[in-house]
Amino acid sequence: MDDQATIVLNPDIRSFGNLPKVFLSPFFRSNYYYRPLVTTTYMAEYHLFGLNPFFYYFDQLVLHSLNVFLVFLLAGLLLGNRHQALAAAILFGIHPIHWEAVTNVSGRAILLSSFFVLLGLIAFLRSRTKPSIWLITASTLFYALALLSKESGGILLIVALTYLLIFERTATAREPTRILSLLPFGLMALLYTAIRLCLNIGQPNPWSDGRELFLGFSTFLAGIWTYLRLLVLPDGFIYDRSIELCRSFADPRFWCAWSAFAVAAYLLWYKRKKISPLFFFCLFWFLLELVPASQVMFAILIQPGRISLAEHFVYLASVPFFIVVVLLVGRVSEWLTKKSFVSPSALKIIGICLYIFLGLITFKQAVFSSNEFVMLRDSLRQEPQNARLHLALGLFYIRVQKPDQAEKYFEKAVRLDPGCTHCRLALGKALFDQGRLSESLTTYQQTHPTNLRDEELLRDYQTTVERALNARHQP
């Protein structure tokens, strides 16, 4: 889907002379995203390896492996136990929920931003125990690089603030210097915001009113339980996961989501004195990492009536989750061993088997993602109302020169998302390739090409219409 626009057909990565343009232009040419470091990595890969996909995937694995090592370092700082830190890092490394983030080359922003966020947080935590101007400078630099990789990197500022509020509660820590330690982060966030404003790069899809925003956020709350299920019971992974919006306040999912979170909040408050600060920090960190996908800042609509619930949103959020899992499993194991219910050797065997099980599922998902047709087909079976999957599968059939097969998927995409210009253009092209010129022209005339931000797509539209008109007038 996205790799055609970001890599294969992206002229900006063809020359290092385009580097200034990359830092002055939006990502995806959509005027919504600003991720110049991601394009820079593609530029370097293109000059080293051309369009050989092997090396792009290899770099994804390298980045993920580096993130696994950083999770080990970070978990060690938080847990104070190298064995538990290693267990959390391995769990992060092999859990199948990361299949989409790692195997999707056009999703490089997730891995790259997470890399700099983890580096920034490690440097920040070390600066709290060993104050150093170099550590503060490094953490600020990593924060800037995270922002230039993906917008969600900005959450690092709030995560650091949460750490201060939870862990540093002594009288000395309440001095103004505690909050002032975040001043470099704040200044960097303001500079980043100023740059985006100067470049006129905004945010996508604001909600039309407060009611829609609240229903969108409530839908996201219901979606969190899907994430938790996938983290605990890793089964049923699909590409481009989405969820239907709560249609009204009478929607059962609305009440179930809010009731479940209300009960969870009450239990946390009631047991707060028995819960460790580390648990609360990891809980808030987990929720903070999901804020960009929460529908509060903007609507992540993939089509009318559905919001994105992609599994790659959980990539960095899973770090605090796995730290808590390892912490809880460690305490349960100690209790079981103390009560002589299970021997330490048996627990180790169970743990090894669990890691092997997760690794096998991850391998299966990697193989699944290597076949575009199978991945899209199986995902569409689970999500038949996803217009983007219909569009993607139709484009696959166009590439293998089966426009008649592509047509039915494009038609379904148009029915699901009537305002999707790309879907209508694709349908018009499929009809044109079959020689059905009148139907093709009618479909093209129903589009609104002036709304296209993709200049290349606009040129394709104009060229195809001209060819269809010329063909119609030929005897």
C-alpha 163/C-alpha 460 separation (Å) is: 51
Q: Work out the mean pLDDT of the chain and round it to a whole number.
A: 88
In three-state secondary structure terms, 176 is: coil
Q: Is residue 458 exposed (0-12), middle (13-18) or buried (19+ Cβ within 10 Å)?
A: middle
Q: Is residue 197 exposed (0-12), middle (13-18) or buried (19+ Cβ within 10 Å)?
A: exposed
Across 248-265, average pLDDT: 91
Could you tell me the pLDDT band of residue 453, with boundaries at 50, 70 and 90?
A: very low
Query: Mind listing the pLDDT tens digit for each residue in 71-104?
Result: 999 999 999 999 999 999 999 999 999 999 999 9
All structural domains of the chain? 386-473 (1.25.40.10)
The confidence score (pLDDT) of residue 454 equals 47
Could you tell me the pLDDT band of residue 380, with boundaries at 50, 70 and 90?
A: very high
Across 218-240, average pLDDT: 91
C-alpha 82/C-alpha 448 separation (Å) is: 58
The confidence score (pLDDT) of residue 204 equals 64
Judge whether 413 and 380 are in contact, CB under 8 Å.
no
pTM: 0.91
Q: Which two tokens stand for residue 372?
A: 């575009």
Could you tell me the pLDDT band of residue 474, with boundaries at 50, 70 and 90?
A: low
Judge whether 402 and 15 are in contact, CB under 8 Å.
no
Query: Mind listing the pLDDT tens digit for each residue in 190-220?
Result: 999 999 989 888 766 677 788 888 999 999 9
The confidence score (pLDDT) of residue 171 equals 47
Residue 70 has pLDDT above 80, yes or no: yes
The confidence score (pLDDT) of residue 17 equals 92
